[in-house]
Amino acid sequence: MSHYKIYVYAISKNEEAFAEEWVRSMEEADGIFVTDTGSQDKTVEILRNNHVYVFQEEIRPWRFDTARNISLSHVPFDADICVCTDLDEKFLPGWRSALENTWQPGTHMGNYLYNWSLTPEGRPYVQMLYFKIHSRFDYIWEYPVHECLRYTGIIPEKKLFIPGLILNHYPDARKSRSSYLPLLQLGVRESPMNPRMSYYLGREYMYQGQWENCIQELSRYLALPSAMWREERWAAMRWIAASYARLSEIPKAFSWYFRAIAQAPDIRDAYVEAALLSYSLSDWETCFYMCHRALQISEKSSVFVNAGYAWDHTPYDLSAIACFHLKMYNRSLEHAQKALELSPEDPRLRGNLNIISAYASNPGYL
């Protein structure tokens, strides 16, 4: 018999393409509660036909924290555990057992593995730790976008990691993120000293191709007294580097990649990004060195986003190409083989391997 009362809650708007599969993924819960914020398709009908409790709310002006807090308010008070997901997300089967086997009396929040994106073959690509499982009381959502839970309780917050609980994200590329920038600008106006809002605003400027604004805002972020999270600072430095690269200010780009590496030398991403920049410049020595350092790191970050390109064939591919140009044919062959093992259907990698194999067996080839 179930030990805990577990409820799933979510917000929705025009999610008919995802609604039924989402319910199938969430139905291990004792109840599912959705706050719909204005669907004009069949989302509400599909959810109700699948025994979901649906509440329809109009939220003006729109902000995600308001929507999430209203959604949470519809969760019954007898909940032991609240599970917040979006309709384009699905748990792997057995998630409830994983949760109940780990949750302990007095726990406030559970962290778990979140695959933000998957490869076409279904393997994790962009991966991170997530935080949207929590106790019914003593939490509120805050920030207009990139909202997060804030603990309001008196006793120290107790968190734990839930092994075996994995949530996959299947984003709809057709959906616009045009509302994000003005909401992030609002968030910074409301809380100018808040590092979370400043970081996400700077990153959004990069996504929008506003390179100078990205550099300016993330430089401001790095100067904030409360911007102390090592991995987030590391990411900000990488985005500044990427922005300088797009502005063709290459020495400044490398300077910021080196700062990022110094900030978090145990995470692959900055090395691989510096290798990619070196590749674009035909700087084979730097490309090889950065790949070499990246491949010495064998474990993903357990606390921050892991970019797929740092863990797929990319560092081996770049190293193989760099080694080839440096006439290190045997090492080039070794890494070309490894790259193809990781992406066996890629014809470019197979073609590269054939060329490199010929050189490795006969350095005078061609």
Burial class (CB in 10 A: 0-12, 13-18, 19+), 209: exposed
Work out the percent of the chain whose per-residue pLDDT is above 90.
93
Residue 363, preceding peptide bond in cis (omega within 30° of 0): no
Mean pLDDT of the chain: 96
Question: Which stretches of the chain are assigned E, i.e. beta strand?
Answer: 6-12, 31-36, 53-56, 81-84, 89-91, 109-118, 124-134, 139-142, 148-151, 159-169
pLDDT category of residue 175 using cuts at 50, 70 and 90: confident
- For 231, the token pair is 């991995």
Q: What mean pLDDT do residues 42-52 have?
A: 98
pLDDT of residue 43: 98
Reported as a single tens digit per residue, the pLDDT across 216-267 is: 999 999 999 999 999 999 999 999 999 999 999 999 999 999 999 999 999 9
Rounded CA gap, 130 and 299, in Å? 18
Rounded CA gap, 254 and 241, in Å? 7
Q: How far apart are the first and last CA of the chain?
A: 72
- For 182, the token pair is 């003005």
User: What's the helix, strand, coil split of the chain in %, to 5?
Assistant: 45, 20, 35
Residue 1 has pLDDT above 90, yes or no: no
Reported as a single tens digit per residue, the pLDDT across 75-84 is: 999 999 999 9
pLDDT of residue 178: 84
Instruction: Please name the residue that has the structure tokens 């990698």.
Output: 349
pLDDT of residue 176: 80
Rounded CA gap, 164 and 181, in Å? 35
- For 339, the token pair is 């790259």
pLDDT of residue 364: 60
pLDDT of residue 172: 85
What domains sit in the chain, N to C, each tagged with a CATH number?
A: 6-169 (3.90.550.10), 176-264 (1.25.40.10), 266-366 (1.25.40.10)
pLDDT of residue 2: 56
